[in-house]
Chains A and B, each alone.
Chain A
Amino acid sequence: MKSMRKILENRAAVVCLVFLSAWIFLALAAPFLPLHPPDHIFTGQQLKPPAWNEGGSWQFPFGTDDLGRDLLSRLVYGSRISLGFGFLCVVVSVLVGGSLGLTAGFFGGWWDRSVLRAMDILMALPSLLLAIVVVAVLGPSLWNALWAVTLVALPGFVRITRASVLAEREKEYVQASRAFGAGRARQMLLTILPNCMAPMIVQASLGFSDGILNMAALGFLGLGAQPPTAEWGVMLADSKAFMESAGWLVTWPGLCILSVVLSFNLLGDGLRDAFDPKL
């Protein structure tokens, strides 16, 4: 509760939380909003500038792309992919990374050593390179990009969970629960795990931003979501050819990525400050 209050006192974190909630609402409500379908091609309406520019109209508030698709609608539908797949990436890495880290820290021994070693190897390859290797094996697609990005995120979750389990494992309350005859599963899941949540929540927030950024990067390289999917990275890659005449196609998807990633980072920072006052 104390940390809840500290979060609410952090103005930047609150602003980010509100901003992200708005994005999540847009993403969920997209099919019910009065938007053009994101893939609908309006013939004869190619490369229309945004409404506030000369030649723009409120029919397409943010303008249209080179094929005549409504940019606003594509941006909103793009958030479904970025936020949705970012969410999936975090959920899978929390579940898999969390269980690996929890068991490694709790049991120690050869299991701990093998898990750590495997994570060392994954971390020896820089994130984007590792993601590219995975995509190369599985083939470029949105879902394969998700697996790639999740594998990249895994070591961070494993290490953070393991470290906090190690810190908690020998504390008195855990010894007490052991003395009262708690089994291993009970000690791990009910005694230790709840006390390791703080760093995991921070990591999840930062993992969100990494996941979204890496997914967009893969999309941009042509190794993630494929056209005509409305995905922010793919939209940026498409905009390259028209950037001289249609700058808005470059500006908006990029601002979407930046604002969402920045918000998750700020939120993560705020959460860390709230949980760990000494930093």
Chain B
Amino acid sequence: MGSFLVKRILHALPTLFGVSVIAFLLIRLIPGDPVLLMVGERGASPERIAEMRANLGLDLPLWEQYVRFVGNALQGDLGESVFSRRPVWSEFADRFPATLELSLIALAWSVLIGIPLGVLAAIKRRRWPDHVLMSASLVGYSMPIFWWGLVLILFFSVRLGWTPVSGRMSAAFDVEPFTGFFLIDVWIRGLGWAGFKDALAHLILPALVLGTIPVAAIARMTRSSLLEVLREDYVRTAKAKGLSFFQIVFVHALSNALIPVVTVIGLMLGTLLTGAVLTETLFSWPGVGRWLVTSVQARDYPVLQGGVLLLAVIIVVVNTFVDVLYMWLNPRLRGNLQ
């Protein structure tokens, strides 16, 4: 694994540094006094204002503020929310599983649907299934998902009454989070099928909406990658050997065609985690995205700063991991890992 792995991780460090600077400067760049802005019209006692100012460390020289910010962050201390007065870290930890569950389910369905559709379009190239699928995927790719969500709510929740309009669970069920994934927690907490169905009914529309752009992107990517591989010499060799069309596509070509697709899917997880901002706002899904949007509107700067930093770190780590995975999956590059 040696040198490449080390190099790739070293490459991520300056990015992490840059991201931490962005999160750090967020509060400092705001025109005006951030503490007074946060207090806003609600007002606060002079003691509280002094306390907030000290908590943020705004009275120190800038470089010292940054060192303190990073030092604290490394120990898991990201300050506290101005409104709930709870540590930002535990607010994040409460909400992140909801976002992760939503993103993973969205990713799962878009992979399960997107790859077969892409393969279908590629093997029916320039015929009607290809045209229909690629047009549909372009529409999906251009979709304003906040509108798409409204349309689905209007149809499935309001007209048909099949799914609830918002939230993660009905009030009748009280799920004490264990894994934080409600689809699993309902079993652990003994709510059985009824609870599972309720959690699934709440999840299904948001996941559908969140997965719309990924499914389109994955289908297009799979198609073009497979078409490229089908032009390779070894595919011609396989044809010459007399292998059947399906053997060639599914045994020889697809495994190679999927390597770049896997990379795109990996990189998508980061996009999904924040694409969730729109979906979560629309469906009142109690996740990180909605939390960040509310914190902008409420000028809860510590929450914003900590939330952005945590999300960015997660995304940089995931992307680094995906890069290494790509190297490992691609036999031509695998040598670099040794």
Contact = CB atoms under 8 A, between A and B. Distances in A.
Contacts of B293: 132, 221-223
A258 interface: yes
Contact of A258 (B139, B150, B158): B139
Contact of B15 (A120, A222, A262): A120
9 contacts: A124-B18, A132-B296, A137-B30, A220-B146, A221-B293, A243-B153, A244-B154, A258-B144, A269-B138
Contact of B150 (A135, A223, A236): A236
Nearest to B313: A124
Q: Which of A133, A209, A265 gathers most chain B CB within 10 Å?
A: A133
Contacts of A239: 150
B166 to A, nearest CB: 11
B256 interface: no
A257 B151 CA distance: 14
A120 B18 contact: yes
Interface residues of A, number: 43
B14, B31, B154, most chain A CB atoms within 10 A: B154
Contact of B147 (A126, A258, A269): A258
Given A132-B296, A265-B141, A118 B150 contact: no
Contact of A254 (B30, B151, B292): B151
A155 interface: no
Interface of B is mostly: helix
Interface of B: 14-15, 18-19, 22, 26, 29-31, 138-139, 141-144, 146-148, 150-151, 153-154, 158, 270-271, 273-275, 277-278, 281, 292-293, 296-297, 301, 304, 308, 311-312, 315-316, 319
Nearest to A239: B150
A184 interface: no
Nearest to A135: B296
A118 B22 CA distance: 11
Contacts of B31: 138
A269 to B, nearest CB: 7
A217 B154 CA distance: 19
Contacts of B148: 254
Contacts of B146: 216-217, 220, 233, 236
